[in-house]
Structure 1
Amino acid sequence: MRQEQSNQQGQDRQPRAGRDSGLHRGSAGLIPTAYQLQGWDQYGLDVLAGTINACRYTRLAVERHFRDLREAGERGLVFNIAHAQHVIDFIQKHCRQSKGQWAGQTIALQPWQQFWIAVTFGWRRVDGTRRFRTWYEEVARKNGKSTKLSGIGLYLFAADKEPGAEVYTAATKLEQAKITHAESEMMVRQSPGLRQLITSHNNKLFIAGTSNKYVPLGADAKTADGLNVHGAIVDELHAHPSRELWDVLDTARGARRNSLMCAITTAGFNQEGSICLEQRKYLIDILEGTTDDDSFGGVIYTLDAEDDWRDEQHWGKANPNLGVSVFIEELRDAARKAAQVPAALFNFLTKRLNVWTQQVEAWLNLDDWDKGSAVFDETTLHGRACFGALDLASTTDLTAWVLVFPPVGNDPNWYVLPRFFVPEENMQRREIKDRVPYAAWHRQGYIIATPGNVVDQELIRQQVLQDARDFDLQEVAYDEWNAAKLATELAADDVVMVKIPQNFQMLTAPTKHLEGLVLSGRIRHGGHPVLRWNAGNVVLLTDTNDNYRPNKKKSRDRIDGIVATVMALNRALFGEDDSSVYEQRGIRVI
């Protein structure tokens, strides 16, 4: 009942899409008598009847289409069934899956996909030109976004009967655009019909005897001059840091009467002034009837504001492909993790339930972290194999030297032994700035104060060498920034130094491993207060492929000890086992 009341209140706020629209859910009376129902219409009717559980924005988009079937003729719009069917037939007959269990099979568009493709392409103006010049679609991950976009791009390029059609797969960087574009290239290679028509060269698609082309385009391209855009395929618009590329594509299609900019994205983290949120808000204004724009279309799949994200009956609202390419057990596993880890909750909400969030919470739950606080005597680790890491964030700030000890024998636990250094003359200033008791931690032996107002790297070097004598130190990871000189000196001291780039490739796996150790209670850090403070500060940097790593820029305060722990775990997980590596000594780059 609460759901129905909320929806009715939402309708009362909309002048066109609600009570004045004349639509009645589940009633065939909403279809004009002159319109012949098509197979794809059943999806829309099921949404309006409540047979398919959909969010308010999805229902409003469906209502807009059916309302326009009755009223849009007055505005010079017509719905052309043949145009809609032509696109659906092209994709299902000529485009093939390239990955997973369906690789090589022709694409079978799901009812919801057929419905929205029909809406996008079926609507025309009375002069025969395309109605929707911009289409914005928002849906959770793994709901076939890239496959659908690739099929649409190929249609615009090869089957839309546009002379000299220029179609672009757009991304913030050219390399990312190539990755998305590769799906279209694979479809061409796997389709006998498309292979006969289309040629591929250097990530670009062409049609012999025409000037048609379908190419990837990044915002980092040297120039965007001379573009004459018929189609722009924009995947994951939320990842675009600025509106620059969007505006370039938009202004480059002025000479085309049937151009289409098609953006399909998941939600993201709130970014003030982002182009994605701008397009999203514009669509919502149209759906709610506060703005009129017949050239802008779209649909949003997400949870309603009152929905409890933990209630799986709502998950289908953001995942229309639930049971096809999205599986309930996978969502349940992700939800269980989200209930325990703040960072996982943000990822689950944004990527799997398509809810826009503001990620300001810390990554690690300190209640879970504190389970590893049992004090241990570091002398019990003497002679044991370990991996170290140095994080020298600044010569005037906190520096971390961390040792990680993998499990041995019947003990399944990982031990973390941190050392922290801070310039003695800066300790009071750092205590005021960071609002933590540096002086007390120094007195208690948790921080080593180095003479002067900059970190004494020679003292750190001596500590590393002492630890190398006490423990079986295998490798030391370091970030080249601020540590190149110290790394060179330690390498000369016969310590194996490994430079670790601060990127997703090198840090995602150890970051996830640390997270797993904390959740499973298999980490032992002795309750070190400085490392605990660092752990509570960490905010993650994430990408669209569920990669993540500690983010110094977004984290609330110092996280040096955790960054060093993650780097040390990288070497513990992926360090060379070949003894010849240790015979060579020196600095290695990976």
Structure 2
Amino acid sequence: MATSTRRKRKTPSSTTDRATLYALAVVAGDIVAGPHVRNACRRHLDDLEHGAKRGLRYDEAIAAHVIAFFETKLCLSEGQFEGQPLKLEPSQAFIIGSIFGWQRETRRYGWRRRFRRAYIEQGKGNGKSPIAGGIGLYGMTADKEAGAEIYAAGATKTQAGILFRDAVKMVDKSPELDKRIRRSGGPGREYNLAVLRTNSNFQPISRETKKTGSGPRPHFALCDEVHEHPDRGIMEMLERGFKFRTQPLLFMITNSGSDRKSVAWEEHEHAVKVAAGNHDAKDEDAAYLGKPIDDSTFSYVCALDPGDDPLEDPSCWIKANPLLGVTIDDEYLAGVVKQAKDMPGKLNGILRLHFCVWTDAETAWMSRAALEPCLADFDDADHVDAKAWIGLDLSRNRDITALACVVKTGEVEVEAERDGEKQIVLKPTFDAWIEAWTPGDTVAARALVDKQPYQEWIDARHLHAPKGASIRFDHVAQALAEYTHDFDVQAVAYDRYAFKASFEPECAKLGIAVEFVEHPQGGTKKGKPTEAMKAVAEMEGREPEGLWMPGSVRLLEDAILERRIRLKTNPVLISAMMSAVTDEDKWGNHWLAKERAVNKIDAAVALAMAIGAASSMAASDASAASPWDDPNFNMAGAA
């Protein structure tokens, strides 16, 4: 762990203040923390010693009062913590105690809260949302602010509603708050909490609101998942309203991101410098200088030290996960580390979400270690007449056109994380295989450019190469016609490229009668749900969704990692899987990127499309079973 020279300071050895005790333990090395949290703790202790010179003081009684509110008034509402009091862990007590205990002296109003802004960056699952919801409830009910306006702000209405619903659930679990707070909207559809006696309210707000010019006057603004905010719009609108308050608070919580031109990265960099008291502090060099940079910003940025390797050294995990062993356990993180090793395409997302690493480097999508256990030699003729789903990736003149076929073979029990608890769920198993075509007249030239043994694949019948300088879609249509004859084809997932103009007419000539379902490629467009998708979604109690590549890629990844899919060995598919890289958006959605792949990945794309169609349109055997299929069922017994 990186260290820095420590100045001698007077330590409040007799204190019972939990924020200060945490800071002392971190600086002493008794609690393992990352470089920026260590700096935040040094800052706290330095300010206890020297802050009075800048008009600052720390009020332990106020800090204790707010901590007591959390621990005596609030209860948790989900998973293994259902109904339990919200007992603050040491890191949480440091955050709450620091934000509310530190004060600044003002000429007009006397002592007021020092921190108007707080930036919290931690790994996923470390209790950020309950803390934010609790701060909102405290601001509305116990901060002695008349007409307090509390906002849960998100990049979208859905995101803003997540944090707000956490607060609503805490009210539901607290008899005392339940008596004082009035809800607007029915159960599960609340859109406002209010304390009528003080004319205070708490509601979700999203970036769309900035267009209305409604001019909120926030007492507290709680911004969730800052790394997902496309700009400063919502935060700037809320901060402009602070001028009407004497001690407002912008409370920002987030995971790490990848966009270094984003508002989250800007806030991250500022928070790192603030904690270090060093205008030049960076992630890789966070030397603590202790110079006051921004006395109004509280910083708690979890991060690894330079040289830490979370894939090999579990001892560093706690630096990004201060609640390790409480809300998130070693076994779970070991599982995601294994995923990162098996599936390089998941590596960056796992580093960001679980280990507070800002990433931007490309990685391969699939490792051989993940793929090889799923490769098998089987005869697809064994599945004749079975229900099948097809993914079709039509190509340009010099590329590969690929058809992937997926057959559901059964279901298997898999351990999954749901609402903070491990549960056993049923998931489908599949057999899958591909066919591929390439223009025969240009094979030799392209083999030299692409450095692929195309002729060997053709000779071994892994790749079709009909004569011509471009893809012969009539050959592909003929193959599809044979599939509709041999299998019960439920749907063919396709991308729009070349489909309407070139491929659909060939299918019409052959009289192919099958449902074609649009499956856009890339990460921005989503197809429309079919009636079959709607029926399955209703059966499984979820909203129906159309096909899109990030969802299909995730389903394929899960099937491979959980060994729920057999892939018929084909070097065209293996090359595609091993060559693929991914693009990713700021929300962590990722998809296969043809433009940046070293080799042709059309077969992998087609396979993902087929898996997406099968998973969206094939109901669980358990949920799809009819009571009339049970020979022992009768209405009298059911009654």
Bin the TM-score by the shorter chain.
0.7 to 0.9
Q: Give the drift of 1:526.
A: 2.4
The answer to whether the 8 A contact 2:40-2:276 is kept is no
Letter in 1 for 2:127: G
2:112 pairs, out of 105, 124, 129, with 129
Q: Which residue of 1 aligns with 2:285?
A: none
Matched residue count: 550
Q: Which residue of 1 aligns with 2:353?
A: 351
Question: Distance in 2 between the 1:495 and 1:117 partners?
Answer: 60
Residues 563-572 or 493-502, more deviating: 493-502
Question: Distance in 1 between the 2:39 and 2:140 partners?
Answer: 31
- Structure 2 unmatched ranges of 5 or more: 186-190, 280-292, 412-427, 520-545, 627-639
Q: Which residue of 1 aligns with 2:561?
A: 516
Q: What SS does the corresponding residue of 1:308 show, helix, strand or coil?
A: coil
Q: What SS does the corresponding residue of 1:267 show, helix, strand or coil?
A: coil
Residues 298-307 or 479-488, more deviating: 479-488
Pair 42,487 (structure 1): closer, same or farther in 2 beyond 3 Å = farther
Q: Give the drift of 1:143.
A: 1.0
Q: Which residue of 2 aligns with 1:102?
A: 81
Letter in 1 for 2:23: G
Whether 2:263 is the aligned partner of 1:248: answer no
Q: Which residue of 2 aligns with 1:302?
A: 303
Question: Distance in 1 between the 2:595 and 2:55 partners?
Answer: 50
Q: Which residue of 2 aligns with 1:284?
A: 272
Pair 189,45 (structure 1): closer, same or farther in 2 beyond 3 Å = same
1:416 pairs, out of 410, 413, 432, with 432
Q: 1:51-95 deviations in whole A, cap 9, x for unaligned?
A: 111222211111111110110000011112232223212222222
Q: Which residue of 2 aligns with 1:14?
A: none
Q: Which residue of 2 aligns with 1:220?
A: 208
Question: Distance in 2 between the 1:408 and 1:197 partners?
Answer: 52
Q: Give the drift of 1:475.
A: 1.8
The answer to whether the 8 A contact 1:511-1:548 is kept is no
Q: Which residue of 1 aligns with 2:533?
A: none
Whether 2:328 is the aligned partner of 1:326: answer yes
Q: What SS does the corresponding residue of 1:238 show, helix, strand or coil?
A: helix
Question: Distance in 1 between the 2:376 and 2:558 partners?
Answer: 20
Q: What SS does the corresponding residue of 2:555 show, helix, strand or coil?
A: helix
Question: Distance in 2 between the 1:189 and 1:453 partners?
Answer: 68
Pair 274,493 (structure 1): closer, same or farther in 2 beyond 3 Å = same
Q: Give the drift of 1:184.
A: 0.9
Q: What SS does the corresponding residue of 1:164 show, helix, strand or coil?
A: coil
TM-score (structure 1 length as normaliser): 0.81
Letter in 2 for 1:529: V
The answer to whether the 8 A contact 2:133-2:164 is kept is yes
Q: Give the drift of 1:403.
A: 1.1
TM-score (structure 2 length as normaliser): 0.75
The answer to whether the 8 A contact 1:390-1:402 is kept is yes
Q: Which residue of 2 aligns with 1:144?
A: 127
Q: Which residue of 2 aligns with 1:552?
A: 593
Question: Distance in 1 between the 2:192 and 2:586 partners?
Answer: 26
Q: 1:270-301 deviations in whole A, cap 9, x for unaligned?
A: 21212111111112112222241111111122
The answer to whether the 8 A contact 2:443-2:455 is kept is no
Question: Distance in 2 between the 1:211 and 1:448 partners?
Answer: 73
Q: Which residue of 1 aligns with 2:607?
A: 565
The answer to whether the 8 A contact 1:511-1:549 is kept is no
Question: Distance in 2 between the 1:393 and 1:71 partners?
Answer: 68
Question: Distance in 2 between the 1:509 and 1:200 partners?
Answer: 38
Q: Which residue of 1 aligns with 2:177?
A: 194
The answer to whether the 8 A contact 1:133-1:260 is kept is yes
Whether 2:555 is the aligned partner of 1:536: answer no
Q: 1:133-189 deviations in whole A, cap 9, x for unaligned?
A: 111111111111111110011222332222322222111111221122111111222
Pair 181,484 (structure 1): closer, same or farther in 2 beyond 3 Å = farther
Letter in 1 for 2:482: Q
Q: 1:509-560 deviations in whole A, cap 9, x for unaligned?
A: 622334226xx4963332332552354213264887xx86534388636543
Q: Give the drift of 1:426.
A: 9.5
Question: Distance in 1 between the 2:340 and 2:254 partners?
Answer: 22
Instruction: Give the alignment of 1:302-451 within 5 angstroms.
Output: 302-309=303-310, 310-366=312-368, 368-369=370-371, 386-392=388-394, 398-407=400-409, 415-421=431-437, 435=450, 440=455, 444=459
Q: Which residue of 1 aligns with 2:481?
A: 465
Question: Distance in 2 between the 1:118 and 1:75 partners?
Answer: 20
Q: Give the drift of 1:38.
A: 2.1
Q: Give the drift of 1:400.
A: 2.7
Question: Distance in 2 between the 1:402 and 1:567 partners?
Answer: 8
Q: 1:208-259 deviations in whole A, cap 9, x for unaligned?
A: 2554332212223462521222211112212223333333333332332311
Question: Distance in 1 between the 2:256 and 2:74 partners?
Answer: 27
Question: Distance in 2 between the 1:397 and 1:534 partners?
Answer: 16
Q: Which residue of 1 aligns with 2:288?
A: none
1:76 pairs, out of 52, 55, 63, with 55
Question: Distance in 2 between the 1:236 and 1:367 partners?
Answer: 33
Q: What SS does the corresponding residue of 1:320 show, helix, strand or coil?
A: coil
Question: Distance in 1 between the 2:372 and 2:471 partners?
Answer: 29
RMSD of equivalent CA atoms: 3.8
Letter in 1 for 2:591: P
Pair 102,427 (structure 1): closer, same or farther in 2 beyond 3 Å = same
The answer to whether the 8 A contact 2:76-2:83 is kept is yes
Q: Give the drift of 1:342.
A: 1.4
- Structure 1 unmatched ranges of 5 or more: 12-17, 24-28, 581-590
Q: Which residue of 1 aligns with 2:96?
A: 117
Q: What SS does the corresponding residue of 2:261 show, helix, strand or coil?
A: coil
Question: Distance in 1 between the 2:315 and 2:328 partners?
Answer: 14
Residues 115-124 or 185-194, more deviating: 185-194
Q: Give the drift of 1:499.
A: 4.9
Question: Distance in 2 between the 1:241 and 1:413 partners?
Answer: 38
Pair 96,451 (structure 1): closer, same or farther in 2 beyond 3 Å = farther
Pair 550,296 (structure 1): closer, same or farther in 2 beyond 3 Å = same
The answer to whether the 8 A contact 2:210-2:237 is kept is no
Q: Which residue of 2 aligns with 1:31?
A: 12
| Identity, % of aligned positions | 27
The answer to whether the 8 A contact 2:576-2:603 is kept is no
Pair 38,417 (structure 1): closer, same or farther in 2 beyond 3 Å = closer
Letter in 2 for 1:31: P
Question: Distance in 2 between the 1:319 and 1:367 partners?
Answer: 28
Pair 307,104 (structure 1): closer, same or farther in 2 beyond 3 Å = same
Question: Distance in 2 between the 1:430 and 1:222 partners?
Answer: 53
2:72 pairs, out of 90, 93, 111, with 93
Q: Which residue of 2 aligns with 1:474?
A: 489
Pair 405,543 (structure 1): closer, same or farther in 2 beyond 3 Å = farther
Pair 144,555 (structure 1): closer, same or farther in 2 beyond 3 Å = farther
Pair 559,63 (structure 1): closer, same or farther in 2 beyond 3 Å = same
The answer to whether the 8 A contact 1:365-1:536 is kept is no
Q: Give the drift of 1:124.
A: 0.9
The answer to whether the 8 A contact 2:377-2:569 is kept is yes
Question: Distance in 2 between the 1:99 and 1:567 partners?
Answer: 34
Q: Give the drift of 1:205.
A: 1.9
Letter in 2 for 1:189: D
Question: Distance in 1 between the 2:20 and 2:277 partners?
Answer: 23
The answer to whether the 8 A contact 1:139-1:354 is kept is yes
The answer to whether the 8 A contact 1:510-1:567 is kept is no
Q: 1:566-585 deviations in whole A, cap 9, x for unaligned?
A: 232244445257799xxxxx
Question: Distance in 2 between the 1:523 and 1:79 partners?
Answer: 62
Pair 58,457 (structure 1): closer, same or farther in 2 beyond 3 Å = same
